[in-house]
Homo-oligomer: A and B are copies of this chain.
Amino acid sequence: MFKKWMTVLSKCALFRGINPEELNIVLACLNPKVSSYDKNESVTVFGEKFSGLGVVLAGEVVVVKDNAAGNRVIMAVNGPGEMFGEMAAFSEDGVWPATVVARGACTVMLLPAGKIVGSCERSCGSHKMLITNMLIIVSDKALMLHRKVEYLAIRSMRGKISTFLLEQYKRTGKDTFMMPLKRNELADFLNVSRPSLSREMSRMRDEGVIDFHRDSIKIKQVDVLRSMAG
């Protein structure tokens, strides 16, 4: 039944430590719903009734939040095997805390939240593992948000840009790399305006700290960048 998605699901953090045979049993237990979406189609809408823990099976989704002023903040970009709605799954109000939009054609699986904590009728042994995995996942999510808060708490734009670039530098281990976000998306992520971001990056280029062309970026003075990060 879920044979098609086994490879992806085995990579999903929720099912870590559960072997294929058990996974099949657990999935039958959880009774998930698989749906496909086109580009820019809404998978979930902020404030609507919570429909279940999401797992991306194919394609990519973007988790966004619109504040009333009309600014769209990108919370995350999730690919195959990644999840969304982990936090809402165990909240009381039972509504989506964010909007999830298909970044391109994609397929997602929605798991009813109650089934995860609720004790299984057939008392399948992987349920405890599932809950423990869930705990780790939500903790990681919380830490990610913690990091996000740190980003937003940086007052100056230079600080934000420098911090972001240094994180990429550390992640890739190279001083020349591709930006994982378009200017628009980066501006959203750093919570600044797009033209101001361009201007500041250009200034940094003029000063010889970095060099870039479109998506390709090169860090020329790591130490200077570090001093600007805070």
A65 in contact with B143 (CB, 8 Å) = no
Partner of A153, one of B67, B90, B138: B67
A155 to B190, CA, bound (A): 11
Q: Does A224 contact B (CB under 8 A)?
A: no
A123 to B229, CA, bound (A): 49
Q: How many residues of A contact B (CB 8 A)?
A: 42
| Nearest-Cβ distance from residue A72 to partner chain B, whole angstroms | 10
For residues 94 through 133 of chain A, which have their beta carbon under 8 Å from a beta carbon of chain B?
97-98, 117, 128, 131-132
Q: Which residues of B contact A149 (CB under 8 A)?
A: 65, 73, 75, 145, 148-149, 152
B87 in contact with A155 (CB, 8 Å) = no
Dominant SS among interface residues on chain A: helix
Q: Which residues of B contact A89 (CB under 8 A)?
A: 139
B117 in contact with A155 (CB, 8 Å) = no
Q: Does A197 contact B (CB under 8 A)?
A: no
B97 in contact with A143 (CB, 8 Å) = yes
B134 in contact with A135 (CB, 8 Å) = yes
Q: Which residues of B contact A145 (CB under 8 A)?
A: 142, 145-146, 148-149
Q: Does A40 contact B (CB under 8 A)?
A: no
Q: Does A150 contact B (CB under 8 A)?
A: yes
| Nearest-Cβ distance from residue A202 to partner chain B, whole angstroms | 22
B68 in contact with A230 (CB, 8 Å) = yes
Q: Does A140 contact B (CB under 8 A)?
A: yes
| Nearest-Cβ distance from residue A196 to partner chain B, whole angstroms | 12
B67 in contact with A154 (CB, 8 Å) = yes
Partner of A131, one of B67, B91, B132, B191: B132
Partner of A150, one of B67, B135, B146: B67
Q: Does A159 contact B (CB under 8 A)?
A: yes
Interface centre among A140, A142, A145, A230 (most CB of B within 10 A): A142
Q: Does A8 contact B (CB under 8 A)?
A: no
Task: Report A's interface with B, CB cutoff 8 A.
Answer: 65, 67-69, 71, 73, 75, 86-91, 97-98, 117, 128, 131-132, 134-136, 138-143, 145-146, 148-150, 152-156, 159, 191, 229-230
